[in-house]
Structure 1
Amino acid sequence: MFATILSTFALTSACTDQSDDKQPAADATDAGEVKKEWSEAMESLKAYSITQRDEALVKAEETIDAMDKRIDEMESRASQGWQDLSADIRQRREATLSAMQEQREALAEQYEQMKASSSDTWDDVKKGFIDSYNTLSSSLDDAQSDLFGEDTKKE
């Protein structure tokens, strides 16, 4: 499944028509600040032990909520002017957004595993959540670039 998602993003990147596929740019500063906050949250999550699971879950849930907001904003922007887009661009946008949603679901599954983890599995489950977060975060950056031509990877 992960390979499929990666190939979807690679295909989307390779096929993106840079001329009519853009929406007005979002505030890059806000995106950079949010990304920095998410990274800091994941760094702090790495240090949480099983005895700090409740704190870790709160931090993880806050991060998921922020990612959901970013996904919602991207979906809203992607649908603007939908009727004016070519069928090819619509299809690429749908594929990109669908792949993001699949990765978001994978992150939610990791979160549920964190909630149910035992002390024996905590470190592995926590790592799985962080890995899923990193995959989704990278995909959101790629999607923002693919859909809107915005580079959110620069710090």
Structure 2
Amino acid sequence: MHLHISTLMLLGILGAVQPCYAQAEKDSTTIEEVKKETQDLLQSIGSFTADKKDQAVEQAKDSLNKLDQRIDALEAKIDKNFDEMNDAAREEARENMKTLRKLRNKAAEWYGSMKASSADAWEQMKKGFSDAYKDLTEAWEKSEKELGSGK
């Protein structure tokens, strides 16, 4: 996964993306908070044994829902400023969103596998979900930073 920093950083420097962030920054979760939530989730899921699978699955579902909201908010920021972006920045934004959606689907597949897993497969399923979720949050964080809204 390659996310080109230069194009989106240039937009941030030139102010083409920045105007939408004044209010959004007050209402949004910081990247540091997302990192902490991700770390907490991965530690928690890692500690759940197969007999606590329902708790782990519920926690994973809640975390995916929160991250979905964050991805939607990022997409809204892009949409709001789409007309102000040059063609290269538009393409870059589209690619970032495509990557995020792809990684989100991968995490959802692992979530489904984890949810349906047997006790014997539990360790493998929760590791697969944890790895996919970590990749997804890292891609979201990188996209947020590139758009200049990271704190």
What is the TM-score with the length of structure 1 in the denominator?
Answer: 0.83
1:16 aligns with 2:8: yes
Report the Cα distance in structure 1 between the residues aligned to 2:82 and 2:17, rounded to whole angstroms: 11
Structure 1 equivalent of residue 137 of structure 2? 137
Q: How many residues align?
A: 143
* 1:14 CA drift (Å): 4.2
In the superposition, relative to structure 1, how do residues 150 and 28 fare at CA in structure 2: closer, same or farther (>3 Å)? Answer: farther
Which runs of structure 2 are paired with 1:18-97 in the superposition (5 Å)? 18=10, 19-20=13-14, 21-23=16-18, 24=21, 26-27=25-26, 30-31=29-30, 32-97=32-97
Report the Cα distance in structure 2 between the residues aligned to 1:65 and 1:16, rounded to whole angstroms: 26
Report the Cα distance in structure 2 between the residues aligned to 1:15 and 1:82, rounded to whole angstroms: 14
Structure 2 gap ranges (5+): none
Report SS of the residue matched to 1:118. coil
Percent identity reads 25
Structure 2 equivalent of residue 3 of structure 1? none
Provide the alpha-carbon RMSD of the alignment: 1.9
Report SS of the residue matched to 2:72. helix
Report the Cα distance in structure 2 between the residues aligned to 1:35 and 1:102, rounded to whole angstroms: 20
* 1:71 CA drift (Å): 0.3
Structure 1 gap ranges (5+): 1-5
Ranked by relative contact order (alpha carbons within 8 Å, sequence separation 6 or more), the top structure is 2
Report the Cα distance in structure 2 between the residues aligned to 1:37 and 1:119, rounded to whole angstroms: 26
Structure with the bigger percentage of helix: 2
What is the TM-score with the length of structure 2 in the denominator?
Answer: 0.85
Cα deviations across residues 26-80 of structure 1 (Å, max 9, x unaligned)?
A: 2498323343223212211100011001000000000000100100100001111
1:114 aligns with 2:114: yes
Give every structure 1 segment of 4 or more consecutive aligned residues whose post-TM-superposition deviation is greater than 6 Å: none
